[in-house]
Amino acid sequence: MQVDMKKLIGSLVAVVILGGLAYWAASHHVVRTDEGTLVLAKRFLTYADTYVDVRAWSSADFAAHPELWRALVDQGYQDLLAKWKARERKASLDEVKDKAAALAGEVAAKVSATAADVAADVSEKAEEVAGKIAETVEPLLDDPSGADHAP
């Protein structure tokens, strides 16, 4: 009979330990951040967001997990939320800078091509004008008096 009592007490201890772990998991968030791991109390008993790795999260991810966001704010971690927001803004700014640089390169290439076309047109016109001037001046050079030629 004593063997059965040991098994019963062992089983009860295991159930109590497992129940305590289940209760703890339902009442806490374990949050992995760039700075380390946070343990936050939950407002309600739930297994949602018990363990969360937020190192690559955006504002949209936090918006999808309002209870976790509220726990961070309520327990004094607004600075972490501000860092994520700043990192997100910097990434957006870097993206805009990259797009602007690419656009500037495209514009410069178009301006260069247009300038080359204009330069070719000007050169062609200059040759044409130079040819006409040469045609006009050539007879004058042949007849220095210019008597036979009307202006």
At 9-27, the pLDDT tens digits run 999 999 999 999 999 999 9
What pLDDT, on a 0 to 100 scale, did the predictor assign at position 29? 96
- Domain residue spans in the chain? 2-76, 95-145+147-151
What tokens appear for 75 in the block? 């327990």
Residues 67-114 pLDDT 10s? 999 999 999 998 888 888 888 888 888 999 999 999 999 999 999 989
- 90-115: buried (b, 16+ CB within 10 Å) or exposed (e) per residue? eeeeeeeeeeeeeeeeeeeeeeeeee
| Percentage of the chain modeled with pLDDT above 90 | 48
The whole-number average pLDDT for the span 45-51 is: 93
Instruction: Please tell me whether residue 40 adopts helix, strand or coil conformation.
Output: strand
Are 84 and 63 in contact, with CB atoms under 8 Å apart? no
**pTM (predicted TM-score):** 0.57
Considering the chain, what is the average pLDDT of its residues? 88
pLDDT band at 52 (very low <50, low <70, confident <90, very high): very high
Q: Report the run of H or E that residue 37 belongs to, with start and end.
A: strand 37-41
DSSP letters spanning 125-142: HHHHHHHHHHHHHHHHHH
